Amino acid sequence: MICDLELNLVMEEKKQVSEYYTGEQAFAPVPMHVGSAPIRALDKGKLQATAFEAMRHHADQQVSMLRKQAELLMQQVREIEGRVAVSRQIYEADFRFKPEVGNTYHLYEKEGRNILSLIGPLEWGRSAKFENHIASVKLLGDKTWEVLPKAKT
C-alpha cells in the first residue's frame, strides 16, 4: 500500500513539472523574462476569414475561366450547327455542275427552292435572277462547306 501511495506522489510531481516549459528559452511558447518578445495568440476567426476570402477569390477566378471556355464551346457549337444547316440546303439545292474543292459557290433562293450558282451576288449587276442570296460557301477537302462572310452590297 505504501508503494502505491509513493507511486501516485511521483506521478503527481511529474504532472506538475510538465505543466511548466523547461526547454530552451528561444523556443518557449510564452515569454520567459521581461525582455522576451511578446507572443500573441492567433485570432482564429480572422485567420479563417482571410483564408476563406483567398480561397473564394481563387475559386471565382476558376469559375470565370470555365464560363469563358463554355461560352467559346457554345459559339463553336452554333457555328457547326450553322454549317450543317447550310450544307443540308446546298445538298438539297439544284445545280448543274460538279462542285470542286477549294472553289467558292453561292446559294440562292428562287421560287421556294434553293439553287447553287458559280456567280456571286455582286456579279449579277441589275439583272439579279434570284430573290434571296442565302450564303457564299467554299467546298473543303472533306466535302464540308465553309460559310464565307457575306459581301457588302
pLDDT in tens, 89-124: 888 888 888 999 999 999 988 888 888 988 888 887
pLDDT in tens, 9-42: 666 665 555 566 677 777 777 777 777 777 676 7
Specify the pTM. Answer: 0.53
Task: Return the sign of the alpha-carbon dihedral for residues 94, 97, 98, 101.
Answer: negative
The Cα–Cα gap between 98 and 118 comes to 11
